[in-house]
Amino acid sequence: MRNRLQILTAIGLMVFTAAAIAAQKNSSPAKTTAPDPAWVFPPKMQTVRLYGDGPIPNSKPVADEETGADKGWIQKVSQPSIQVYLPAKAKATGASVVIFPGGAYWGLTFDYEGVQQANYFVDNGIAAFVVKYRLPNDAWMNDKSIGPLQDAQQAMKFVREHAQQWNLDAKRVGAVGFSAGGHLAATLATHWDKALIANPNNTNLRPDFLVLVYPVISMNDTVTHLDSRKALLGEKPSKKNIQFFSNELRANAQTPPTLLLHAADDKLVDVKNSLLFLEALKNASVPVEAHIFAQGDHGFILLPRERWQSLIVQWIIKPATQHSP
């Protein structure tokens, strides 16, 4: 009888101990997992040589004399590169933009029209790629008129070929250009069908959409920004080159859907540039939207940034069907 009582007592103690341990586990604070930094924060910006380790097409061997990177106004660019800005995964929309800063083809307003714009796009879930394209110069180019366009095509190729790596939609890659950079973006959008670079994979060089901010469009004497034309085509450009780089003459049904922003009081680049492109796109049945501000001057120095930047983001992220004919 005593042995039986001892056995029952031991069993009871074991059950009590197991229950106590289980209760202690249940009352312990739940373990938390630290969030993935890439999910909540954008990764660090990367700078990549635009042509990698390969040769730069249409280039002469010269020393790199680039200046002004520390001031946001870069000149004498002979070694092109691209800066990669990716959004946090929590915000990512899959869309991306290739940005071409302006500067009259004499320099690059790289900080204001490149870096600052890229950060705004990233904050809104849009990946951004800022292109430091070669500035036209006979000293380091065989044909200075096509050098910037080659770099623009290479930038579009670079983004599309890395889209899967960065979880981007290869069919939602647009071009954004400011001032003379707007001319370059428009040139890319109207001259994408003939590759001026090596493209063994036949990667699509056409932007899926186009955003032009106070752009130079035409090389025509009465409309163009003469300093931009002089830098790109020289003092006395041929009629053939003027027509080739007047993008209002090159627009057709394959030109991507376009958003135009310009100020009517722009004293540097006549608003007629945007109006000419608007008319050309309309005639080609290309979806186009334009915002002409009464005041803003060149660079939109008189406008709050949010007023015009938000228009771009809203236009990019709205359903693709709204951009289609």
Q: What is the CATH number of the domain that holds 51?
A: 3.40.50.1820
The mean pLDDT of 162-182, rounded to a whole number, is 97
Look at residue 38 in the predicted model and tell me its pLDDT: 67
37-78: per-residue pLDDT in tens?
768 888 999 999 999 999 999 999 999 999 999 999 999 999
> What φ, ψ does residue 107 adopt, rounded to 5°?
-160, -175
Helices marked H in the chain — which ranges? 2-27, 37-40, 116-123, 147-162, 180-190, 226-233, 239-244, 272-283, 305-317
Which are the contacts of 55, defined by CB distance < 8 A and separation ≥ 6?
none
Strands 258-263 and 288-293: parallel
The Cα–Cα gap between 78 and 292 comes to: 35
Look at residue 40 in the predicted model and tell me its pLDDT: 85
With beta carbons less than 8 A apart as the criterion, state whether 212 and 255 touch: no
Look at residue 32 in the predicted model and tell me its pLDDT: 60
Look at residue 33 in the predicted model and tell me its pLDDT: 66
Establish if 23 belongs to a structural domain: no
Establish if 160 belongs to a structural domain: yes
**Average pLDDT of the residues of the chain:** 91
The Cα–Cα gap between 211 and 306 comes to: 16
Strands 46-49 and 81-85: antiparallel
User: pTM of the predicted model, to two decimals?
Assistant: 0.88
Query: At residue 150, what is the residue type?
Result: Q
Asked if the model's pLDDT at residue 10 lies above 70, the reply is no
Q: Is 202 exposed, middle or buried (0-12, 13-18, 19+ CB in 10 A)?
A: exposed
110-167: per-residue pLDDT in tens?
999 999 999 999 999 999 999 999 999 999 999 999 999 999 999 999 999 999 999 9
Q: Tokens 């200075």 map to which residue?
A: 144
Asked if the model's pLDDT at residue 242 lies above 90, the reply is yes
Q: Which two tokens stand for residue 97?
A: 């933009």
Closest CA to 191 of 181, 179, 206: 206
Establish if 147 belongs to a structural domain: yes
Q: Which two tokens stand for residue 45?
A: 């910006």
Asked if the model's pLDDT at residue 25 lies above 70, the reply is no
Distance of CA 215 to the CA centre of its chain: 16
**Minimum mean pLDDT range among 106-115, 260-269, 314-323:** 314-323
The Cα–Cα gap between 235 and 54 comes to: 32
The mean pLDDT of 292-319, rounded to a whole number, is 95
Q: N- to C-terminal Cα distance for the chain?
A: 95
Distance of CA 12 to the CA centre of its chain: 71
Closest CA to 212 of 109, 111, 100, 137: 100
Asked if the model's pLDDT at residue 22 lies above 60, the reply is no
Establish if 2 belongs to a structural domain: no
How far apart, in Å, are the Cα atoms of 15 and each of 10, 22, 26, 201? 9, 11, 17, 70
Query: At residue 142, what is the residue type?
Result: N
Establish if 290 belongs to a structural domain: yes
The Cα–Cα gap between 316 and 320 comes to: 8
Look at residue 7 in the predicted model and tell me its pLDDT: 42
The Cα–Cα gap between 61 and 69 comes to: 22
With beta carbons less than 8 A apart as the criterion, state whether 49 and 81 touch: yes
Establish if 3 belongs to a structural domain: no
> What φ, ψ does residue 279 adopt, rounded to 5°?
-65, -40
With beta carbons less than 8 A apart as the criterion, state whether 98 and 151 touch: no
Look at residue 15 in the predicted model and tell me its pLDDT: 40
Strands 81-85 and 107-109: unpaired
Look at residue 36 in the predicted model and tell me its pLDDT: 77
- pLDDT confidence bin for 2, thresholds 50/70/90: very low
Strands 96-100 and 173-178: parallel
The mean pLDDT of 182-188, rounded to a whole number, is 98
**Count of other CB atoms within 10 angstroms of residue 23:** 10
The count of structural domains within the chain is 1
Establish if 100 belongs to a structural domain: yes
Cα angle value 260/187/249 (rounded, 5°): 80
Asked if the model's pLDDT at residue 8 lies above 90, the reply is no
Parent domain of 43: 37-322
Establish if 248 belongs to a structural domain: yes
